[in-house]
A = this chain, B = another copy of it.
Amino acid sequence: MADGDTETRVTIRTVAADAGVSVAAVSKVMRNAYGVSDALRLKVEASIGKLGYRPSVAARGMRGRTFTLGVLLVGIDNPFLPGIYQGIESVTESAGYKIMVGVGAARARTEVTLIEQMIDNRMDGLILVASQIAGETLEHFARQIPIVVVGHHEPAAQGYDTINNDDQRGAQLAVQAFLDRGYSDIAYMTQSDQGDHHADVAPQREAGYRKAMTAAGLADRIRVFRLPQCGLSRDEMLSNVLQSPDRPRAIFCWSDLDAIPLLSAAHRLGMGIPDELALIGYDNSPMAELSMVDLTSIDQDGPRLGKLAAEALFSRMTGRSVAEHILTEPTLILRGSH
């Protein structure tokens, strides 16, 4: 512990002494509770200003609320997250709540630890974005702290809320967009399932793809490619898929995250887009918009999802106990890749 010239912390007691009032009085002013005269308030506020007093969140959390929310993100390299985060922040900021973020690195174990960490830090509520954690575990945590989940389908959950774009509908939009252009040889590319509980977005999009294909009478043309996790063999696999003699003419990819590397592989192989390969992604990430990428993608309006999540969390924190499961409408962003 660095113990140089440690400025002794300004506590509520320091303020009370300075203002010549009781500790409780200062506390009341801070929480603008009932029963404070203007004279007292002024005195206390003057001292607070003079001393630069900030209440300790940790101590405050031991009895009251901390006005801090926890947000758990899968990672920081996912283009889907900034929009959601910004949506959350827009709501929480104006309500005077602070946000602490945990980065789950897509490992369920890490995520559980982080959630526990947030509970132990006495946060007032949690928003989990694209969490990998199973529903039953979530129910367990939800008994200890209000929770809202984004990007994880669990429509029967009782203890927590879920906010999602309608991933099945998004997949249907993509398939339809291909059909409109006359394609019938449409494949779906997804990440390899990893303990997959059918709750994650990728399987939902797969289900939507299958339904849409079946509805179009193309059930026998259904093909699903599953990408391995690690980087090197993934790039290889992308190339292999593209070079195989019976490669699909059109690919709907579960996320821009994989669609763009796929596009890159196609480009490297000298394939024309969309003439030799048509492609639609998901998330409408900023990269998709770049002219050399120009990727058609499904947009799920991250800021809106974030906003809805924050609002749901607040309503749950203030009493609602019956679960809410919201599904928003995705939109197709037309570009040159299909």
Contact = CB atoms under 8 A, between A and B. Distances in A.
Interface of A: 1-2, 4-7, 9, 54-59, 61-62, 65, 68, 73, 75-77, 79, 81-82, 85, 89, 98-103, 105, 113-114, 116-117, 120-122, 124, 143-144, 146, 159, 260-261, 263-265, 267-268, 286-287, 290-293, 316-321
15 contacts: A1-B317, A2-B317, A7-B143, A54-B116, A57-B122, A58-B58, A58-B59, A68-B117, A75-B82, A76-B81, A76-B82, A77-B79, A99-B102, A261-B290, A292-B293
Contacts of A54: 116, 120
Contacts of A120: 54-58
Contact of A117 (B98, B124, B261, B286): B98
B321 A292 contact: no
Contacts of A286: 77
Nearest to A158: B4
Nearest to A119: B54
Given A5-B143, A143-B5, A291-B267, A117 B85 contact: no
A265 B292 CA distance: 9
A103 B102 CA distance: 11
Name which of A7, A56, A79 has the most chain B CB atoms within 10 A of its CB: A56
Contact of A292 (B2, B121, B292, B317): B292
A187 to B, nearest CB: 21
B103 A85 contact: yes
A120 B59 CA distance: 9
B291 A121 contact: no
- In the A-B complex, the 5 residue pairs with the smallest Cβ-Cβ separation, listed nearest first, are A101-B101, A57-B120, A264-B290, A268-B291, A77-B82
Contacts of A146: 1-2
Contacts of A65: 1
A218 B144 CA distance: 65
Contacts of A7: 143-144
A118 to B, nearest CB: 8
Given A101-B100, A268-B291, A59 B57 contact: no
Contacts of A79: 77
Contact of A102 (B4, B101, B265): B101
B292 A143 contact: no
Contacts of A59: 58, 62
Contacts of A293: 264, 292
